Structure 1
Amino acid sequence: MGNRGPTHQVSSFTRKAVYPQLCTLTSSGKAPVARFSPTYTGKGHNIDTMDGNRDDASGISRSKRSLASVNTPAGSGNDELDKTAQPDAASNKVGPEDAAKQERENADPENIKAISTVDEAEGDYDVRKENHFGEAAIIDNAKDLVTHVLHVDDEPSDSPWTFRALFIGNVYRLCLILCVFASVLQEIFYFKPQIILVSVVFLTVIGYILALPFQLIPRPGGDGVVSRTCRFLNPADFNSKEHTFMVIMASAGSTSAVATQILAAQRLYYGSSPDKGAAIFLVIASQFLSYGIAGLLRSVLVQPAKMLWPVNIPVNTLLETLHRDRSETRKRLRCFTAVFGGAFLWEIVPLWIAPIFQGVAVPCLARRDSLVFTNLFGGAQNNEGLGFLGLCFDWNYIAGLSSPLWYPLCTLVNSMTGYLLCIVLFMGVYYGNVWDSINFPFLSQLLYHGSSNATNFVQYNLTAILNSDNTINSTLVAEQGLPYLSGSYVIRLITTNVGITAAIVHLLLWNYNDLKDGWAFLRPSRLQRLFQVSTYFSWRGHDSGEEAARRQRVVDDKDLDPHYKLMMQNGYVEVPNWWYGLVLVLSFVIGITTLYKIGSTLPWWAFIVSNLFSALFILFFGAQMGLTGFQFDQQPVILMLGGYLLPGKPLANMYFTVFGFNGIQQGQWLLRDLKLAQLAHLPPKATFTAQMLGTVVGAIMDYVVMVSIVDNQTPALLSINGTNVWSGQNVQAYSTLAVAWSMAKDMFSVGSRYQWVTLSFLVGFLAPLPFWLAWKLTGRDVFRDVDTSIVVWNCALLYVGVNSSLLMYFCLGIFAQWYLRRFHPAAFIKYNYLVSAALDGGTQVMVFLLSFAVLGASGREHKFPTYALNNGGTNNDVNIDYCMFNTASAN
Structure 2
Amino acid sequence: MAEKRPGFASSDAEISESLGHTSSRDIEKEANIPSPELTYVVESPIFDASKEDHFGEEAVISDAKDVLTHVIHVDDDPSLSPWTFRAFFLGIGLAVFASVLQEIYYFKPQAIYISIVFMTVVGYAIGEAMSLIPRYGPILKFINPFPFNSKEHGFIVIMASAAATNAVSTEILAAQKLYYNQDPNAGAAIFLVISSQLLGFGIAGLLRSVLVQPSRMLWPINIPVVSLLETLHRDKSETRFRLKVFWIVFGIIFVWEIIPEWIFPLLQGLSIFCLAKQNNLLWTNLFGGSSGNEGLGFLSISFDWQYIASLGSPMWVPLYTLTNNLIGYLLCIVLFMGLYYGNLWESQNFPFLSQLLFDESSNSTLFVEYNTSAILTANNEINSTALAEGSVPYLTGTYIGYLITTNMGCTAALVHMFLWNWSDIKAGFFFLHPAQLKKLLQPSFWIFWKGGKTKEQHKREVLENPDLDPHYKMMVQEGYEEVPNWWYANVLVLSFVVGLATCYGVKSTLPWWGYIISNIFAFVFILFFGAQMGLTGFQFNQQPIIQMLAGYLHPGKPLANMYFTVFGFNGVQQGQWLARDLKVAQLVHLSPKATFTAQMLGAVIGAIFNYVMMETIVANQFDILKSIEGSNIWSGQNVQQYNTLAVAWSMAADMFSVGARYQWVTLSYLLGFFVPIPFWFLYRHTKIRFFAYMNLSIILWYMGWLFVGVNASIGSYFVIGFFAQYYLRLYRPGLFVKYNYLVSAALDGGTQVLVFIFSFAVFGGSGAAHNFPVWAGNNGGVGNSKNLDYCMYNPANG
**TM-score (normalised: structure 2):** 0.94
Aligned pair partner of 1:773 in 681, 685, 693: 681
- 1:740 alignment partner in structure 2: 648
Partner of 2:339, secondary structure, is helix
Spell out the pairing of 1:460-539 with structure 2 (5 A cutoff): 460-527=370-437
Q: CA deviation at 1:423?
A: 0.4
- 2:65 alignment partner in structure 1: 143
Task: Tell me, in whole angstroms, the C-alpha distance in 2 between the residues paired with 1:330 and 1:715.
Answer: 51
Task: Tell me, in whole angstroms, the C-alpha distance in 1 between the residues paired with 2:372 and 2:157.
Answer: 42
- 2:77 alignment partner in structure 1: 155
- 2:148 alignment partner in structure 1: 238
- 1:827–1:874: structure 2 CA closer, same or farther, 3 Å change rule? same
Task: Tell me, in whole angstroms, the C-alpha distance in 2 between the residues paired with 1:780 and 1:241.
Answer: 46
- 1:795 alignment partner in structure 2: 703
Task: Tell me, in whole angstroms, the C-alpha distance in 1 between the residues paired with 2:731 and 2:479.
Answer: 40
Q: CA deviation at 1:294?
A: 1.4
Q: CA deviation at 1:171?
A: 2.6
- 1:533–1:156: structure 2 CA closer, same or farther, 3 Å change rule? farther
The answer to whether structure 1 residue 346 and structure 2 residue 262 are counterparts is: no
- 2:26 alignment partner in structure 1: none
Deviations 1:518-559 (A, max 9, x none): 110123443466666687655x999x9x31132022012100
Aligned pair partner of 2:751 in 843, 864, 871: 843
The answer to whether structure 1 residue 863 and structure 2 residue 771 are counterparts is: yes
- 1:212 alignment partner in structure 2: 128
Q: Contact 2:349/2:364 (CA < 8 Å) preserved in 1?
A: yes
Q: Contact 1:871/1:878 (CA < 8 Å) preserved in 2?
A: yes
Amino acid at match of 2:62: D
The answer to whether structure 1 residue 456 and structure 2 residue 372 are counterparts is: no
The answer to whether structure 1 residue 293 and structure 2 residue 291 are counterparts is: no
- 1:473–1:823: structure 2 CA closer, same or farther, 3 Å change rule? same
Partner of 1:452, secondary structure, is coil
State the structure with more CA Rg: 1
- 2:564 alignment partner in structure 1: 656
Task: Tell me, in whole angstroms, the C-alpha distance in 2 between the residues paired with 1:577 and 1:529.
Answer: 16
Q: CA deviation at 1:16?
A: 1.5
Deviations 1:427-475 (A, max 9, x none): 0110000010010000000000001000100000011110000000011
Spell out the pairing of 1:815-826 with structure 2 (5 A cutoff): 815-826=723-734
Q: Contact 2:9/2:15 (CA < 8 Å) preserved in 1?
A: no
Amino acid at match of 1:453: N
Task: Tell me, in whole angstroms, the C-alpha distance in 1 between the residues paired with 2:749 and 2:604.
Answer: 25
- 2:35 alignment partner in structure 1: none
The answer to whether structure 1 residue 302 and structure 2 residue 300 are counterparts is: no
Deviations 1:132-191 (A, max 9, x none): 1111100000001110000000111112123x2xxxxx3312111100100000000000
Task: Tell me, in whole angstroms, the C-alpha distance in 2 between the residues paired with 1:553 and 1:603.
Answer: 44
Aligned pair partner of 1:382 in 292, 302, 313: 292
Task: Tell me, in whole angstroms, the C-alpha distance in 2 between the residues paired with 1:751 and 1:555.
Answer: 58
Task: Tell me, in whole angstroms, the C-alpha distance in 1 between the residues paired with 2:354 and 2:162.
Answer: 31
Aligned pair partner of 1:125 in 39, 43, 47: 47
Task: Tell me, in whole angstroms, the C-alpha distance in 1 between the residues paired with 2:41 and 2:753.
Answer: 44
Q: Contact 1:498/1:761 (CA < 8 Å) preserved in 2?
A: yes
Task: Tell me, in whole angstroms, the C-alpha distance in 2 between the residues paired with 1:729 and 1:671.
Answer: 28
Amino acid at match of 1:18: S
Q: CA deviation at 1:201?
A: 0.8
Task: Tell me, in whole angstroms, the C-alpha distance in 2 between the residues paired with 1:561 and 1:152.
Answer: 10
- 1:10–1:772: structure 2 CA closer, same or farther, 3 Å change rule? closer
Q: Contact 1:418/1:793 (CA < 8 Å) preserved in 2?
A: yes
- 2:56 alignment partner in structure 1: 134
Q: Contact 2:47/2:473 (CA < 8 Å) preserved in 1?
A: no
Query: Unmatched 5+ residue regions in structure 2?
Result: 1-7, 22-39
Aligned pair partner of 2:159 in 232, 249, 253: 249
Task: Tell me, in whole angstroms, the C-alpha distance in 2 between the residues paired with 1:365 and 1:154.
Answer: 55
The answer to whether structure 1 residue 186 and structure 2 residue 102 are counterparts is: yes
Q: Contact 1:448/1:459 (CA < 8 Å) preserved in 2?
A: yes
Q: Contact 1:71/1:571 (CA < 8 Å) preserved in 2?
A: no
Q: CA deviation at 1:19?
A: 2.4
Task: Tell me, in whole angstroms, the C-alpha distance in 1 between the residues paired with 2:9 and 2:507.
Answer: 63
Partner of 1:18, secondary structure, is helix
Task: Tell me, in whole angstroms, the C-alpha distance in 1 between the residues paired with 2:185 and 2:472.
Answer: 44
- 1:580 alignment partner in structure 2: 488
Of 206-215 and 311-320, deviating more is 206-215
Of 523-532 and 622-631, deviating more is 523-532
- 1:718 alignment partner in structure 2: 626
Partner of 2:108, secondary structure, is coil
- 1:445 alignment partner in structure 2: 355
- 1:677 alignment partner in structure 2: 585
- 1:110 alignment partner in structure 2: none
- 2:186 alignment partner in structure 1: 276
- 2:111 alignment partner in structure 1: 195
- 1:611 alignment partner in structure 2: 519
Deviations 1:246-301 (A, max 9, x none): 01101111110000000000000001111000000000010111111111111111
Q: Contact 2:444/2:451 (CA < 8 Å) preserved in 1?
A: no
Q: Contact 1:536/1:578 (CA < 8 Å) preserved in 2?
A: no
Q: Contact 1:541/1:547 (CA < 8 Å) preserved in 2?
A: no
Q: CA deviation at 1:123?
A: 6.4
- 2:269 alignment partner in structure 1: 359
Deviations 1:690-744 (A, max 9, x none): 0100111111100000000000001110000000000000000000000000000
- 1:571–1:532: structure 2 CA closer, same or farther, 3 Å change rule? farther
Task: Tell me, in whole angstroms, the C-alpha distance in 2 between the residues paired with 1:10 and 1:146.
Answer: 20
Task: Tell me, in whole angstroms, the C-alpha distance in 1 between the residues paired with 2:110 and 2:781.
Answer: 15
Amino acid at match of 2:769: E
Partner of 2:706, secondary structure, is coil
Task: Tell me, in whole angstroms, the C-alpha distance in 1 between the residues paired with 2:396 and 2:483.
Answer: 48
Partner of 1:708, secondary structure, is helix
- 1:550 alignment partner in structure 2: 458
Task: Tell me, in whole angstroms, the C-alpha distance in 1 between the residues paired with 2:495 and 2:531.
Answer: 24
- 2:3 alignment partner in structure 1: none
Q: CA deviation at 1:15?
A: 7.8
Q: Contact 1:529/1:535 (CA < 8 Å) preserved in 2?
A: no
The answer to whether structure 1 residue 880 and structure 2 residue 788 are counterparts is: yes
Q: Contact 2:46/2:463 (CA < 8 Å) preserved in 1?
A: no
Partner of 2:703, secondary structure, is helix
Q: Contact 1:651/1:738 (CA < 8 Å) preserved in 2?
A: yes
Deviation above 4 Å: which 4+ runs of structure 1?
Answer: 8-11, 527-538
**TM-score (normalised: structure 1):** 0.85
- 1:440–1:144: structure 2 CA closer, same or farther, 3 Å change rule? same
- 1:44 alignment partner in structure 2: none
Task: Tell me, in whole angstroms, the C-alpha distance in 1 between the residues paired with 2:682 and 2:703.
Answer: 23
Q: Contact 1:15/1:140 (CA < 8 Å) preserved in 2?
A: no
Say what the alpha-carbon RMSD is for the aligned residues.
1.9
The alignment-based identity, stated in percent, is 61
Task: Tell me, in whole angstroms, the C-alpha distance in 2 between the residues paired with 1:268 and 1:156.
Answer: 51
- 1:19 alignment partner in structure 2: 17
Q: CA deviation at 1:9?
A: 9.0
- 1:825–1:505: structure 2 CA closer, same or farther, 3 Å change rule? same
- 1:605–1:534: structure 2 CA closer, same or farther, 3 Å change rule? closer
The answer to whether structure 1 residue 761 and structure 2 residue 677 are counterparts is: no
- 1:259 alignment partner in structure 2: 169
- 1:410 alignment partner in structure 2: 320
Task: Tell me, in whole angstroms, the C-alpha distance in 2 between the residues paired with 1:568 and 1:513.
Answer: 23
